[in-house]
Amino acid sequence: MSTLQIVRNPATEQVLAEVPGATVEETREAVQRAKRGFREWRALAPGDRATLLRAFGAAVLSHNEELAQLEVRNAGHTISNARWEANNVADVIMYYAGSVERLLGQQIPVAGGVDLTFKEPLGVVGIIVPWNFPMPIASWGFAPALAAGCSVILKPAETTPLSALRLAELAHEAGIPQDVFQVITGVGSVVGEALVRDPDVAKIVFTGSTRVGVRIQELAAAQVKPVTLELGGKSANIIFEDADLDRAASSAPYAVFDNAGQDCCARSRLLVQASVFDAFLERFEAAVKAVRVEDPTLETAEMGPLITPEHRERVASYVDENTILFRGACPEGPGYWYPPTVVGIEDSSHRSVREEIFGPVVVVQRFTDEAHAIALANDSDYGLSGSIWTSNLGRGLRMARALESGALSINSHSSVRYWTPFGGYKRSGLGRELGPDATDAFCETKNVFINTEL
């Protein structure tokens, strides 16, 4: 029997909705529907599939404000971030709509015949997403999967299901069949695991914690089921003495406190060259104290609340008052608020240096030279993103090649563009999303040899 999950607004603590939590049996039924949907979807002419995806993208674009407002209420995102996120979903769908007619195979020279490769859709894809960026992360999975000809079952996080449910309605209104794109709500250990265990699910795309990612990979291994994993991070923002200190310091708060630090790409370790340590920190302190933490519905808001009271407890457990260098402010009263917090910890074995806090907390450390910066930055189980600030482009590129990380930026903090690949090294993940090759993750390559000598 289904249970009901209560969905709250993290900025006000008010109940927003009650959403059914599916059972294992209901998940199994959804997979059977998705199998039927797959047969229908893969048989569509590529141009028709592309047209339906473009109609879906257009619907998302025309509902941008509604989707953004929904995410502000459900996830506590600032309205400016949420608008970007809804727009990103439309962009991602449109970009992959353009790949449907470009799922090209190869013709490979062979003796005695012709050799052809075909890209064939995998089948039913299960997409399990976290609560931190509910909409964009879902689209990074479902858009290329649908473009490749797969059917999709999307499982949103239990705390943030509302935008996913609305996206499914928009997809169906745009003409994408119900069985081709389903959203199933419920608890990860029930619905999520049922998707992973189901032999009729051909692939799992998971974004979330490394702990759950490891479990999913273990379960999937029993069926040799492919997985794409986008997991945690503990990325470094590295400031060299030859950097533009004003720009580096004024942007550094947003590299870690954006979305209240609930960002897998958060640069939650700040490595500063010793020769400019004080000069940088002075500028950084002013920038941190200027971050506007307020009601996320306000146009001026730069940071909202954390997602749940339990998560706030967890974040707070990492902060030892004695290590705080300085911190910003946050509202009092209802809502799961936590101030932007800067801690100084030189001991790299400390749990706050090693573990993903996933809140607005940044650990500052100092380094002497390039080799020291590389050693500190790579001394992590994770390897997702990172930033390098220097006016020496040779050094910037040397550092970028030396860091064990999947998405780096020099003199900026960008991580995600829908047309460039995104994903992690080490325990930050497996496989890549976005970029020109993302549809390959949803295809088998079939090789066919035709004997022309007969």
- Which CB sits closer to ligand NAP, 85 or 356? 356
Pick the binder of ligand NAP from 81, 132, 259, 365 (CB under 6 A): 132
User: Which amino acid is present at 415?
Assistant: S
- For β-strands 227-230 and 385-389, DSSP reports them as unpaired
- Which CB sits closer to ligand NAP, 185 or 273? 185
C-alpha distance across the termini of the chain, in Å: 61
Neighbours of 274 (CB within 10 A): 12
Dist CA 365 CA 354 (whole Å): 12
Q: Which helix (H) or strand (E) holds 235?
A: none
Instruction: Note whether 130 binds ligand NAP by CB under 6 A.
Output: yes
User: Are 208 and 384 contacting, i.e. CB atoms less than 8 angstroms apart?
Assistant: no
**Residues in binding contact with ligand NAP, number by CB under 6 A:** 33
Pick the binder of ligand NAP from 215, 289, 314, 398 (CB under 6 A): 215
- Which CB sits closer to ligand NAP, 37 or 429? 429
Pick the binder of ligand NAP from 19, 50, 90, 212 (CB under 6 A): 212
- Which CB sits closer to ligand NAP, 26 or 356? 356
Pick the binder of ligand NAP from 424, 427, 441, 443 (CB under 6 A): 424
- Which CB sits closer to ligand NAP, 78 or 273? 78
Site string for ligand NAP, 179-208 (x = CB under 6 A): --------xxx--xx--x----------xx
Min dist. Cβ of residue 5 to ligand NAP (A): 8
Min dist. Cβ of residue 326 to ligand NAP (A): 25
Instruction: Show the CA angle centred on residue 11, arms to residues 8 and 17, nearest 5°.
Output: 20
Site string for ligand NAP, 220-249 (x = CB under 6 A): ----------xxxx----------------
- Which CB sits closer to ligand NAP, 234 or 283? 234
Min dist. Cβ of residue 264 to ligand NAP (A): 3
Neighbours of 100 (CB within 10 A): 23
Min dist. Cβ of residue 197 to ligand NAP (A): 9
Q: Hey, CA dihedral for 10, 11, 13, 18, is it positive or negative?
A: negative
Pick the binder of ligand NAP from 176, 318, 429, 442 (CB under 6 A): 429
Q: Which helix (H) or strand (E) holds 250?
A: helix 245-257
Judged by DSSP in three states, 354 sits in helix
Residues 6+ apart with CB under 8 A from 166: 63, 66, 67, 70
136-165 residues in contact with ligand NAP (CB under 6 A) are 137, 155, 157-158
Instruction: Show the CA angle centred on residue 8, arms to residues 4 and 14, nearest 5°.
Output: 120
Alpha helices in 63-155 (DSSP H): 64-75, 79-97, 134-148
Q: Would you name the residues annotated as active-site residues?
A: 230, 264
255-294 residues in contact with ligand NAP (CB under 6 A) are 264
Pick the binder of ligand NAP from 26, 179, 258, 356 (CB under 6 A): 356
51-90 residues in contact with ligand NAP (CB under 6 A) are none
Q: Which helix (H) or strand (E) holds 100?
A: none
| DSSP-based helix, strand, coil % in the chain, nearest 5 | 40, 20, 35
Instruction: Note whether 327 binds ligand NAP by CB under 6 A.
Output: no
Dist CA 162 CA 75 (whole Å): 9
Instruction: Note whether 336 binds ligand NAP by CB under 6 A.
Output: no
Dist CA 81 CA 227 (whole Å): 29
Supply the DSSP symbol for 78. -
Chain residues in the site for ligand NAP (CB under 6 A):
128-133, 137, 155, 157-158, 187-189, 192-193, 196, 207-209, 212, 215-216, 230-233, 264, 356, 358, 384, 424, 428-429
